């Protein structure tokens, strides 16, 4: 069991518990000011866009080409922070990871 710290679109901070192997997108859909995740994690909508704090972003596996292409098309793309939360699998090394949900587009 570990945790992530998420700032939602209203600026409210949430601490969420996760198990290794959990998809980070899932609990973000439950937040009232969370993500839409319209494609359900198929890496085709970018409505699960988050800004991962740089120290944590460096610990993530690099984005695949399809994730990167989608992110670069968003209005709020940030080169060193933008990720699709559906493409992040929680693991022990991500315990304590902090990120902010990107603005709605
Ligand atoms: S949920 Fe659609 S790209 Fe992540």
Q: Looking at residue 51, what is its pLDDT?
A: 98
Q: Give the C-alpha separation, 89 to 63, whole Å.
A: 12
What is residue 54's predicted lDDT score, i.e. its pLDDT?
Answer: 95
CATH superfamily of 2-101: Beta-grasp domain (3.10.20.30)
CB count in 10 Å sphere of residue 75: 8
pLDDT at residue 97 in the model: 98
**Per-residue pLDDT for the chain (105 aa), expressed as one digit of tens each?**
999 999 999 999 999 999 999 999 999 999 999 999 999 999 999 999 999 999 999 999 999 999 999 999 999 999 999 999 999 999 999 999 999 999 998
Distance CA 39, CA 56 (A): 25
- Report the C-alpha gap between 41 and 47 in whole angstroms: 10
Q: What is the pLDDT of residue 62?
A: 94
Cα 104 from Cα 44, distance rounded (Å): 16
Best residue among 29, 34, 47, 83 to mutate for probing ligand 1, ranked by most atoms within 8 Å of CB: 47
pTM of the model: 0.96
Domains in the chain: boundaries: 2-101
| Contact (Cβ atoms closer than 8 angstroms) between residue 75 and residue 30 | no
Residue that the structure tokens 């890496």 belong to: 43
CB–CB of 86/64 below 8 Å?
Answer: no
Ligand 1, closest atom to CA 47? Answer: 2
- What's the CA-to-centroid distance between 92 and ligand 1, angstroms? 23
Q: Which residue, among 89, 87, 91, 71, has the nearest Cα to 79 in the 3D structure?
A: 71
């Amino acid at each position: 069991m570990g945790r992530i710290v998420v700032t939602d679109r209203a600026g409210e901070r949430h601490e969420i518990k996760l198990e290794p192997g959990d998809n980070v997108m899932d609990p973000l859909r439950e937040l009232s000011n969370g993500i839409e995740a319209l494609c359900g994690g198929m890496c085709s909508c970018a409505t699960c866009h988050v800004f991962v704090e740089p120290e944590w972003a460096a610990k993530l596996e690099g984005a695949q080409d399809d994730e990167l292409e989608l992110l670069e098309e968003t209005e709020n793309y940030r080169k060193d922070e933008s990720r699709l939360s559906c493409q992040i699998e929680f693991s022990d090394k991500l315990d304590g990871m902090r990120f902010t949900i990107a603005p709605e587009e």
